[in-house]
Structure 1
Amino acid sequence: MAKAGLDVVALDGRKAYTYDLDSESVVAIDLATGDQVGAGARPQGNLPARSDQSGESDAQDDVPLCQQHAPAVGTVGGKRIAVGVFPTVTEGTGTTADTSTYELVALDTETGEAAWQAPLNVSVGGDFCHVAGISGKVAVVVLGGSFEPPNTYGVDLESRKVVWTAEQFEAQYVQGSHVVGVDASGDGSVVEGLNPATGHLQWQGPEAYVSVDLFEVTPFSSESVLVQNRDADGWSTVLRLKDGQQVDVPGMGERLHEVQRCSYDLRTLTFCFFHTTAGGELAAYQAKSGKLLWRLGGPDGNPGRIAPDLTAAFHGAVYGNVVRDGGASEPIVLDGATGKDRELDPGAAPTLVNEYVGLTAERDGSLYTAMG
């Protein structure tokens, strides 16, 4: 599989989809065997030469061509596809300079072969190139961002053409009829919701005079997102997808609580791990309402119990690692409804989980362990 970490892996059913950095293509992996399915989907255009840290070109390293995220998986025209994006270069002739652009690549999830490739005719050069998500027949693609915030493009997956552009807006999460990201076109950075079909503004949320890359938007439930501002005076809040209004969630914004991460179990529960002055704290919430169900660790947790460092949650199960005083890390599974220990020796604490498998990276970052 890819060597860039689990942040470039998408789970969908019994397969995973990722970027293979050796073949420079989007590939499908059979989760039962760990083998690649099909030949993958590679762009038709020429890829730019990689550079090592000394700036020498054509370096054979494991660095992606840009900051790619996991491929986005969706169904368009009755076909399930995994979509990724690559930078490409058209070589100039004579006094004509080389032209840098991007190419969208779709993988047929059933066969693991290329479904199609489509040049985007967008030339913005930069560090970002990833598909933030798919809504209906539109892929939300983030490009650019070397010396200024990236742009976001809506690409119709039937015509394979750009249908809208949001300049200096970084889409970070796509869910249903909403795109949530950060607009840095003004004096500060502001969280916004856009319509994925048209790119039109739906709502504006919190604003801060910080760099766009200090904002992070992740799912809190099927109807809300967690927004984190990670500057020195950072804060966290939960916003409703439909209108950007704040959801009252105990712990968010409390002076002594810094949220590290949250994980929605894709049913009814969400779990968050906090750093507090009394150590780590794991809290469980009703995902829709934000109502606090239980806390473990921290200043208000149960005495004598250690809050595990949260790695993932799925369908009522909470996965994490208990870190002992000596530094030993022990994976564990908790019951999400009660917070009680459910499995003391699961073998590993997965980072990605679905109904078939859990994935965790090996220490060298190049291999993955599948847990049935």
Structure 2
Amino acid sequence: MTRQLTDALGDEALGKRVGAVVLDAATGERIFAANADTPITPASTTKIVTCTAALASLGPDAHLSTRVVQGGKPGSVVLVGGGDPLLAGPSARPRYPKQASLATLAARTAATLKAQKVTKVTLTYDTSLFTGPTTAAGWKPGYIVPEGNVAPVHALAIDEGRQNPRSNTPRVADPPAYAAAAFARLLGKQGISVAKSIRPGRAPAGAAELGRVDSAPIYALVEHTLTHSDNDMAEALARHVAIKEGQPASFEGGAAAVLGVLKRLNAAQGVALSDGSGLSPRNRISAAALAKLVAMAGSPASPGLHAVASGMPIAGFSGTLGNGRRFTASDSRGQVGLVRAKTGTLNNVNTLAGLATTKDGRLVTFAFMADQVPINAEPVLDRLAAIVARS
């Protein structure tokens, strides 16, 4: 394995800065290492870090709740964003994991209001759960428009800020206002008339709850985030970790909170963050840190972290490894189905971190990272992972 990996790492497609490590998942022994401790731009393999922290801090069975509460005046209601970007809008189709539904929230709220003999309301919406800038330092302006890689980060959104739930583009400029307007229309269909003026506001402290919907459990959200490289969900998870850890629910607070959780896990070395999704080119993570986290996720000693392992795409089959472009070359297609790994891609950055079982039955984890890539190093990363899987 060592000679094959060394030869593959010399491929010019990887560029001049490459970090690589292969670990025995059970013992932590380094089977192979090359610049393993060098901090490298991780791109979306950052999500391994964010998701590990979310499971460790929030717990795999926690939920994200979107609520409607009584406003401060008679006949007023407040839609309270719970930081669930997967909240399904009126035109969303059923998917896995099952999403909380804005239509269900409207139906429950309407039923409560009718029981109180209220059929006319004013509506405000509360997005105060998250704070700070809605885009991270280093994000390209094109991430939101026209590329649609992510929406501005708010505590209230439907369909991750998409106008069409089945398409990344276009993203709406003001996700909270868009969600509140959709909620008002849904209330109308339930026989509750909503005043035309819908404005942002704050829910009164201790306000009575009129309706609530809960997301899928965190473990399912983590699996979704990793399989589909969901930037919106990753940023939301980072902020929920911040809230749980007593930090501001912002990019800065999320980064600090995630690192704090990793320190408790003795896994913070080699990790520096600016966001939770990996869209920021300012993130730095070493190959050793990523491989260690994957090993923890697959360990019987860490059952609460297993969703990190189960959420990783399967080579040639699912998520970002099942798009018809990965593990298709002659030097990697023989290992289709035998590698689970998280991909990472930015301009001049390609990374891959995951796990495989060797021919002798040993579970190993790996991370291969390059951030001075001339054009595209994905086929080389696939070859490296394939070498590990067939060794």
TM-score by length of 2: 0.23
Bigger Rg, which one: 2
* Larger RCO, structure (CA 8 Å, separation 6 or more): 2
The structure with the greater share of residues assigned to strand is 1
TM-score by length of 1: 0.24
